[in-house]
Structure formats: C-alpha cells, structure tokens
Amino acid sequence: MANSSQREKWGSKIGFVLAAAGSAIGLGNIWKFPYVVGQNGGAAFIIIYIICVFAIGLPVIIAEILLGRTTQRNPVGAFKALSNSKFWPYVGAMGVFAGFLILSFYSVVAGWSVGYIYESIAGVFSGFDSPNAAGNHFNQLTSNVYWGIGMLAIFIIISMLFVYAGVQKGIEKGSKILMPLLFILLIIVMIRGLTLEGSNEGLNFLFKPDWSKVSANTILEALGQAFFSLSLGMGAMLTYGSYMSKEDNIPKASLEIVFLDTIIAIIAGVAIFTAVFGTGQNAGEGPGLIFHTLPIVFTKMPGGYFVGIIFFILLTIAALTSSISLLEVVTAYFVDEKKWKRHNAVLVFGFLAFLVGIPSALSFNLMQNSKIFGMNFFDMANYLSSNVMLPLGGMLIALFVGYVWGIDKVLTELKYGSEKLFSKSRWIISVWIILVKYFAPVLIFLVLLQSLGIF
Ligand code: TRP
C-alpha cells in the first residue's frame, strides 16, 4: 500500500481538476467570500481579490502541485525528497498539522450546514417573522451542546467515508458527482435570486466599486481570503498533485482550478446578495449572513422552501469536498511516512479531528467564555491555522521553489506535460518565476505581519 509503485493515481485529468476545485470551493467561497465583499466595498474588493488570486494564488498553486507531482509524496515526504536540510520537512509537518486543525473547526461550521438541511426540510424557517427570530433560532441550536457535537460527528463521518474509499474510488468518484451537482444547485439559487424584484440593488452592491472603503489592509485581507479559498499553504494541493502523472499539464490544470474557485465565489455572491436585497434584508450582517439572514430570505421569496433546502445541500457539498482534502493530507502523511494502512489512518485521524472539534463546537456554548488571548477555542484554531500557518507555509513554499530546489530542476519538472507552453509562450514561465521568487514571498510576508498585529 505504502510504497511508491503501488501509490494511487487519479483516473483522469478532469478527475484531478474537479477534486482540486472541490478542495478549493468550500465554506470560504459560499459563506465567507460574500460577507467579506459586503464589508469591504463590494466591487473594489472583488477587483483586488481577483488580482491577488491571479498574481499570487495561481503562481503558488502551480508551485505546490509541482512539489507533489515531482516527489509523489505527502507534504513532509516531498520536502525530505528534495532537500537534505532538516528544516524543510518541518514546513511540511506544519502543513499536515494545520490541515488537521482546519478540519476540526471547519467541520463544526459544516455540521451546522448539515443541521440546516434538516431545519429547511422540516419547514422551521416558515415560522420566522423577523431577522431576530432567525438569529435566535440559530443561537438556540448552536447553544445546544448535543446538536453542535452531533452534527460535527455526522459531517466528519461522511468525509471519512470518501477518504476511506481511496483516491480514485472515493475522492475522485465523489468529486465527479458532487461538483457538477454543486454547480447546478448554485445556478438554480442564483437564477431565483436574479429573478426577484429588487435584485438589481444586490447587483449594484456587489459590482459598483466603492474605492473609499479600500485601504492597505483591504489588500492583505483579499490575499488572505485568496489563500484560504484556494486551499493554499499547507500542502493540500501538493498532496492532490502527488497523485498526478507527468503527462498532466500543471499550469493549465492550475488555471482551471483557480478560475472555477473564483467564478463560484462570485456566483455565490450574486445568488446571496440578490436574494438579500430582493427581500429587503440587511446585507452587512457579517459572518451570520448565511445562518441569520438567509432563512428569512427563504421565507420571503416565492419557492423559498425549496431554494432553502437546495441551498443548504449545496453548502454541505461544498464543505464536504474541502474537508475530504484536509483529511487526505493527514492520511497521505501517515500512509507514506509511517507506513500505515489508509483505512487505519482515516479511522484514527477522523476520530481525532472529531475530538479536537469538540472544544470548537463548545465555543458556542459551554466554553464560550474560556478565552486565551481574548479568543475562544474556535477563534484561536481558526486564527492560528488560517492567519498564521497558511501564510507562513505559502511563503516558505514559494521560497523553496524559488531559491532552494534549484530553478533548473524546477523547470525540468514543470515542463513535463506543458511542453507547448515552454516552446510557444516561454515568457509566461519567466513571469511565473518572477512572481514565485519575488512577488509572492514579499506580499505574503506582509499578510503575515498584519495577521500577527505587527502593522
Ligand atoms: N478552500 C476551502 C474553502 O474555501 C477550505 C480548505 C480546504 C482549505 N482545504 C484547505 C483552506 C487547505 C486552506 C488549506 O472553504
């Protein structure tokens, strides 16, 4: 199972692209992107975000996938294979740890989404007459210890099933069904939003740039969001890349993944804000937008009962294909490096992620007031992984590919599968090198300093 000749591979190119896009597209796109856009000046933020995605996210995603494909290893094994120094494997180890930590709290929010599928089917939303009622209902649910932990358990068990079944039979097959379904469901919700009277206001909010709200911090916020949304900086793309073959075109696949992730975020923004404005709700709700505001939106729009069910199913699917990739990173590490059987690794680390997720679930009730540095466990896990470990990991990955690995070796590897690009548009490769060597590390470093509160 563990040696490289028997290592699993993707069955098809589209399988890889859908699985990697599945990792990228998640709560970050559908829950977070819309409200962050709402808080940061709408279209102006979107423009900056797109620049960050293509100028920094795309070059780094190429670097990460390349590390994986070259070494056919997990994040720790990849660095071990390419450098003699003891330092670099720790970068991989930090990634594996970050993946595990993200899985634990991400699954708490994903669990709410599972619970809301039930709430919407049961018709609970129809009893809400004010946004307060929806907010109270949400607070009531999350303050119930058993609900939070139960939904967390259900969500993690579903994620485990896919990773347990393996790369081709679980992750790839699942992504091939779930991703098209996600696109279709999201488009249905978007069309419903666009056909509401008053939806124009939502579009204005989203696409009319308000540059007055943009500051240096906005740029850093956009870059941080781009990293989280593209699943960068902890070896998820590296691990998925390790199941690729040398015939696959990495720059092309990366561009497809980045494009899909960005377009889905924007479609989610359109779907949500047309509905919010079309039913006269408050767009500036922030993180509560999906669970406080949308249930009211669904009660107010024609056909809202079904749109509500569809919405929470699609949110759960999006989160699921992301949590699968997080669990796969930890699994690949124990399979490659510790020679564990895949099944055992999935059972052990799925269960541990559930245990570590419990204090995150309890951060909304029993442990609400247990704070370290002013943050409860959930906020702390989120902050440490998303704001510290991901940018740090992303910066180090860019530095490794830009300076340590050796640019000749990097280009030899990158060329496999993308020979045409090398012969016809070589300048693109030169631009990529510049972005990875100079642009990405410097900007990511600034994000890191900002996250640490240094400026
Ligand atoms: N990108 C996912 C989202 O947008 C979350 C995610 C999955 C992730 N795997 C990751 C984030 C790895 C950072 C690193 O919801």
pLDDT single digits (tens) 255-302: 999 999 999 999 999 999 999 888 888 777 777 788 888 898 899 888
36: nearest Cα among 223, 194, 278, 196: 223
Q: Where are the alpha helices (DSSP H) in 25-144?
A: 27, 33-39, 43-52, 58-71, 75-82, 87-121, 131-142
Q: Which atom of ligand 1 is nearest to the CA of 326?
A: 9
Q: Which residue has the tokens 């922030």?
A: 286
- For residue 429, what is the domain's CATH number? 1.10.4160
- Specify whether the CB–CB gap between 27 and 319 falls below 8 A: yes
Q: How many Å lie between the centroid of ligand 1 and the Cα of residue 394?
A: 13
Q: Which atom of ligand 1 is nearest to the CA of 323?
A: 7
Rounded CA separation 252/415 (Å): 12
Residue 1 within a domain: no
Q: Which atom of ligand 1 is nearest to the CA of 229?
A: 4
Nearest CA to ligand 1 atom 9: 231
Instruction: Write down the pTM of the prediction.
Output: 0.95
Q: What average pLDDT does this structure show over 359-381?
A: 92
Q: How many Å lie between the centroid of ligand 1 and the Cα of residue 26?
A: 7
Grouping H, G, I as helix, E, B as strand and the rest as coil, residue 298 is: helix
Cβ partners under 8 Å of residue 396, min gap 6? 91
Residue 54 within a domain: yes
Structure confidence at residue 38 as a pLDDT band (50, 70, 90): confident
Rounded CA separation 322/144 (Å): 26
Q: What average pLDDT does this structure show over 426-452?
A: 94
- Specify whether the CB–CB gap between 67 and 241 falls below 8 A: yes
Q: Which atom of ligand 1 is nearest to the CA of 227?
A: 13
Q: Where are the alpha helices (DSSP H) in 301-439?
A: 304-336, 342-362, 377-382, 390-399, 407-415, 419-424, 426-434
Separation in Å, CA 452 to CA 136, 230, 376, 443: 34, 21, 17, 14
Residue 315 within a domain: yes
Quote the number of domains for the chain: 1
Percent of the chain past pLDDT 70, that is, above it, reads: 99
Separation in Å, CA 339 to CA 3, 210, 275, 343: 8, 54, 50, 12
Phi, psi of 452 (to 5 degrees): -80, 0
Q: What average pLDDT does this structure show over 145-154?
A: 97
Residue 349 within a domain: yes
Rounded CA separation 90/171 (Å): 27
Ligand 1 first shell, C-beta below 6 A? 23-24, 26-29, 102, 228-229, 231, 234, 236, 322, 325-326, 390
pLDDT of residue 1: 42
From 6-15, 100-109, 339-348, the region with the lowest mean pLDDT: 6-15
Residue 435 within a domain: yes
Rounded CA separation 224/91 (Å): 19
pLDDT of residue 130: 78
Q: Which residue range is the domain that position 248 belongs to? A: 13-451
The winner for highest mean pLDDT among 26-40, 59-73, 372-386 is 59-73
Residue 339 within a domain: yes
Mean pLDDT value across the chain = 94
Grouping H, G, I as helix, E, B as strand and the rest as coil, residue 375 is: strand
Q: How many Å lie between the centroid of ligand 1 and the Cα of residue 420?
A: 31
Grouping H, G, I as helix, E, B as strand and the rest as coil, residue 372 is: strand
Q: How many Å lie between the centroid of ligand 1 and the Cα of residue 449?
A: 21
**Is the confidence at residue 2, as pLDDT, over 70?**
no
Please indicate whether residue 149 or residue 302 has the higher confidence score (pLDDT): 149
Q: Which amino acid is at 391?
A: P
pLDDT, one tens digit per residue, over 228-238 is: 999 999 999 99
Q: How far apart are the first and last CA of the chain?
A: 48
pLDDT of residue 357: 98
Residue 306 within a domain: yes
Residue 2 within a domain: no
**Is the confidence at residue 428, as pLDDT, over 70?**
yes
Q: What average pLDDT does this structure show over 352-361?
A: 97
Q: How many Å lie between the centroid of ligand 1 and the Cα of residue 320?
A: 11
- Specify whether the CB–CB gap between 8 and 173 falls below 8 A: no
From 205-214, 237-246, 263-272, the region with the lowest mean pLDDT: 205-214
Q: How many Å lie between the centroid of ligand 1 and the Cα of residue 29?
A: 9
Q: How many Å lie between the centroid of ligand 1 and the Cα of residue 278?
A: 30
> What DSSP state is assigned to residue 32?
I
Rounded CA separation 334/355 (Å): 19
pLDDT of residue 213: 84
pLDDT, one tens digit per residue, over 161-175 is: 999 999 999 999 999
Q: Measured at the alpha carbon of residue 265, what is the angle toward residues 182 and 45, in degrees to the nearest 5?
A: 175
**Is the confidence at residue 306, as pLDDT, over 80?**
yes
**Which residue of 29, 228, 266 sits with most ligand 1 atoms within 8 Å of its CB, as the best mutation to test the pocket?**
228
136: nearest Cα among 336, 376, 296: 296
C-alpha dihedral, 258 to 330 to 221 to 139, nearest 10°? 110
pLDDT, one tens digit per residue, over 96-119 is: 999 999 999 999 999 999 999 999
Q: Which residue has the tokens 């485990």?
A: 160
